[in-house]
Amino acid sequence: MAISNAAAMHEAQVLWAYHDTGTPLAAADAIIGLGSYDLRVSDRCVELYQNRLAPRIVFAGASGNWTRGMYATSEAQAFADHAIALGVPADAISLEPKSTNIAENIGFVRALLPDAQRVVWVTKPQTRRRVSASLMVNWPEVFSMIAAPEHGLAAQPSEHHPLEALIAEMVGDVWRMVAYAEKGFQASQPLPPEVRNAFDTLVVAGFTHHLPAGVRSLDH
């Protein structure tokens, strides 16, 4: 890739800061853990549950682009098993094992929690903005707080999802911010010049694995 490691990390940090937008947390009706390749999301759900932020956890997710073949069960079940191993009672956990994207996560969980008024969503740090934008369209009536494992960019890569894949994921999700808002799947988000520049730089460098085939521009 025609970019130095230092330059790639600089641009990746710009995208990380853009995507990782959280909110203050307070007592809620439920904690909702969105399934993924990252079991640290389940760890964070357990932490919040043990701190008595909410009396129950809902884990959501079948499988998606990054987890097909990773777990013997659904993402939701894998996250629940992990939480139970860490001490959460099984009867405090509900599963939504059918969803394959964020909009489905929200829609199916909404059906499970028809009376909820305040919920905490827990996701990967680099997915917080997408979750927030999707909630504005798919469940605007509920008061949503967005949480994630509390670490920086350097700690996010894993054996299953190394730095190159993480950067490609963040690049692809910048494109989705624009494209999905145009389709009405999520609310429109600001796109600062430094984010657009980071996207363009990383696309030219080849971090394109999470973009649709042939897409290389935010103007598609």
pLDDT at position 65 is 74
Domain end: 118, 147, 176, which one?
147
Asked if residue 135 is part of any domain, the answer here is: yes
- Residue 72 and residue 115 in one domain: yes
Are 171 and 77 members of one domain?
Answer: no
Q: Do residues 42 and 122 share a domain?
A: yes
Beta bridge partners of 94: 58
Considering only CA atoms, give the Rg of the chain. 17
Query: Measured between alpha carbons, how far is 77 from 72 in angstroms, rounded to an integer?
Result: 9
Sign of CA dihedral 141, 94, 102, 107: negative
Residue type, 41: V
| Rounded CA separation 167/174 (Å) | 11
Indicate whether 131 belongs to any domain. yes
Its domain, for residue 77, covers 21-147
Half-sphere exposure at residue 160, Cβ-oriented, CA atoms within 13 angstroms: 12
- Tell me which residue of 27, 62, 59 sits closest to 41, measured CA to CA: 59
pLDDT of residue 69: 81
Same domain for 34 and 59: yes
Whether 219 is covered by a domain: the verdict is no
What is the CATH classification number for the domain harbouring 73?
Answer: 3.40.50.620
pLDDT tens track, the chain, 220 positions: 457 888 999 999 999 999 998 889 999 999 999 999 999 999 999 999 999 999 999 999 998 777 888 899 999 999 999 999 999 999 999 999 999 999 999 999 999 999 999 999 999 999 999 999 999 999 999 999 999 999 999 999 999 899 999 999 999 999 999 999 999 999 999 999 999 999 999 999 999 999 999 999 998 6
Q: Do 41 and 76 sit in the same domain of this protein?
A: yes
State residue 220's pLDDT score: 64
Rounded Cα gap, residues 138 and 179, in angstroms? 16
Let me know whether 31 and 11 are in one domain.
no
Q: How far apart are CA 73 and CA 154, in angstroms?
A: 29
The answer to whether residue 53 sits within a structural domain is yes
User: 45 and 111 share a domain?
Assistant: yes
Dump the DSSP string for 42-56. HHHHHHHHHTTS-S-
**56 with 131, same domain?**
yes
Residue 135 sits in the same domain as residue 159: no
Q: What is the pTM of this model?
A: 0.95
User: 166 near 58, Cβ under 8 Å?
Assistant: no
The rounded distance, in Å, linking the Cα atoms of 33 and 174 is: 22
Residues 29 and 14 reside in one and the same domain = no
The CA distance from 15 to 157, in Å, is 14
The number of folded domains in the chain is 2
Q: What pLDDT does residue 4 have? A: 80
Residue 217 lies in a domain: no
Query: Is residue 101, in this structure, part of any structural domain at all?
Result: yes
Residues 6 or more apart in contact with residue 155 via CB below 8 angstroms: none
Terminal-to-terminal C-alpha distance of the chain: 22
Residue 210 lies in a domain: no
Residue 214 lies in a domain: no
**CA 153 to the chain's CA centroid:** 14
- Does residue 102 share a domain with residue 33? yes
Residues 142 and 191 in one domain: no
